[in-house]
Structure 1
């Protein structure tokens, strides 16, 4: 039996509600499916932890996490207590960067029982593969002067290694799906980095002649995500473009609260991290109505990462069975609470 050690960081806000719910679902799935087992260890690192200790995680936090097979994160952020640039860079982004989680994978699909704001989304099912370590989110830059002469410079960094790596990941993923990769670019407006992106994409696609390719400028692509999400399979994008596209795809699904994400370390040196796309949602925290679907779906991504695709698909099927029967939180038109949804998923897993 495969045994996986999982570092659990509920974090802030609704993370403290949806993470325990998802952990319970994963425990039940392991129990009924067999073949694997989880050992969870929870860490209290959060904005509350910062308020008490002056840091988002202890100095040896990364050394502690390094020994786990994966990290299961809830949400980070409480701007009323800690500025976002401190909370994000002190925990979430610190883990992503230091653990070389260079690929971000975010699927989106039409779920049964969840109404899309689109009139006819036609059962869309796509995955955005986002470069996760450089691009527009590099730390290179600075500010100069103050007042009328003040200026700020932010450098976008695109390396051939990083760009080719995310594209090859996207092509390999497409080979397991519908063999179609779409590149998000903006080479008609961004002079250096996006023509470079296009050149690397053309180089990489030569090794995947069995995969159909398209390339869209990001503004047109954003529009197509709304108008025709069903035409896309795997979309590969830079850090910023991928971030924007996945918020759109989450909205097209019906709620960003159901969107999952995986931060993948591809060299095996460090654990990967799994987190939903949604934030800490302080406006509804503590009310028991947060949607656990995003966190649960994120758990399915973790299972796929470990090679247990059958178990992941079983979990997704049960999750959709539950939403199809109207057992949903208010953000997607239901009247159920967080635990109502997760408990029903657990009940159906045991029944299967």
Structure 2
């Protein structure tokens, strides 16, 4: 039996609340599956830690995390700490130093959730966002701050290697999952250097996958198509910024940020991958116990798939859909009055029931 060692960073705001529910579901599986064991080590590296220590994590924080099989991350963000500090001293160092260059974000309309779109066609696609370079670079600076001639330079870093590896991951996923189209997000008509390289590198990779169609859209048009015909997409590949924006839009059309998971993946498995809901710390509802835990529970399911247990990952997603389909337990964002704990408990119970029926206890 493999024992999986998981680092848990609950973070700020609603992060701890939703992370507790994800762990609740994983612990149910541990109790019922004789071939599955998982251990959690919690690290309270968050804004409170920063206010006390002057940094978001210890100097050897990355070294500590590297020993784990995966990282389950809550959310980060606190009005008392500037966003650039919390992001660039915690999330970005993990993503970049652990070479988590694949950000995977499923966009799926789950049964029982109303969409703001009139279109009721099934929506089920995956966005692969380049996660290590692109527009999210700290290369640049500001001059003459506070003066009339103040200026800022922010450099975008696009490398052929970086584009090729995220594109290949997207095409491999499409091939393995039986999807027949990859859509590339670009803006090469206006961003003529970095996005031209992006287009060329994606096209070169696509040539190796004869059975999969490549289509390319400018980011502004693609955003419109996400709303007009989301059912037409299979796999989308995008740069760091474009992927970030598209997936928030994608989440909105299938029920909101509260149901949208993500994985920051190091495909070579040299370092642990990190799994987190795409929502933030939601300070407006922090401490109220009403946050939707589905995105974090689903992120834990992505983690299990990455760790080699797609069967357990499928069981969790099936349980989420069952609870939503019943419509009895819903947090306020889904039109109900139930708490984070009540929704998490309901999903954990369905997971338990499913595994018990299958005789995995």
Fold equivalence (TM over 0.5)? yes
**Distance apart, 1:275 and its partner CA:** 0.6
Structure-1-length-normalised TM-score: 0.98
Structure-2-length-normalised TM-score: 0.95
Judge which range, 67-76 or 334-343, deviates more. Answer: 334-343
Secondary structure of the 2:292 match is coil
Aligned to 1:128: 127
Secondary structure of the 1:191 match is coil
Confirm or deny: 8 A CA contact 2:107 2:124 kept in the other structure.
yes
**Distance apart, 1:189 and its partner CA:** 1.0
Confirm or deny: 8 A CA contact 1:260 1:277 kept in the other structure.
yes
**Distance apart, 1:29 and its partner CA:** 2.0
2: CA distance, partners of 1:335 / 1:210: 47
Judge which range, 163-172 or 266-275, deviates more. Answer: 266-275
2: CA distance, partners of 1:187 / 1:98: 29
1: CA distance, partners of 2:348 / 2:101: 33
Aligned to 1:138: 137
Check if 1:256 corresponds to 2:245.
no
Check if 1:97 corresponds to 2:96.
yes
Aligned to 2:67: 67
Check if 1:16 corresponds to 2:21.
no
Secondary structure of the 1:207 match is coil
Secondary structure of the 1:226 match is helix
1: CA distance, partners of 2:31 / 2:236: 35
1: CA distance, partners of 2:272 / 2:180: 28
Q: How does 1:302-313 map to 2 (within 5 A)?
A: 302-313=303-314
Aligned to 2:193: 192
Judge which range, 193-202 or 272-281, deviates more. Answer: 193-202
Select the residue among 332, 339, 353 that pairs with 1:351: 353
Count of residues in correspondence between the two structures? 351
Confirm or deny: 8 A CA contact 1:179 1:233 kept in the other structure.
yes
Check if 1:25 corresponds to 2:25.
yes
Aligned to 2:78: 78
Q: How does 1:1-352 map to 2 (within 5 A)?
A: 1-79=1-79, 81-146=80-145, 147-177=147-177, 178-326=179-327, 327-352=329-354
1: CA distance, partners of 2:232 / 2:29: 33
**Distance apart, 1:115 and its partner CA:** 0.7
Judge which range, 125-134 or 21-30, deviates more. Answer: 21-30
1: CA distance, partners of 2:61 / 2:269: 19
User: What residue ranges of structure 2 are gaps of 5+ in the alignment?
Assistant: 355-361
**Distance apart, 1:342 and its partner CA:** 0.9
Secondary structure of the 1:275 match is strand
Secondary structure of the 1:283 match is coil
**Distance apart, 1:281 and its partner CA:** 0.5
**Distance apart, 1:346 and its partner CA:** 1.5
Confirm or deny: 8 A CA contact 2:158 2:194 kept in the other structure.
yes
User: What residue ranges of structure 1 are gaps of 5+ in the alignment?
Assistant: none
Secondary structure of the 1:148 match is coil
Judge which range, 313-322 or 135-144, deviates more. Answer: 135-144
Confirm or deny: 8 A CA contact 1:121 1:228 kept in the other structure.
no
Secondary structure of the 2:271 match is coil
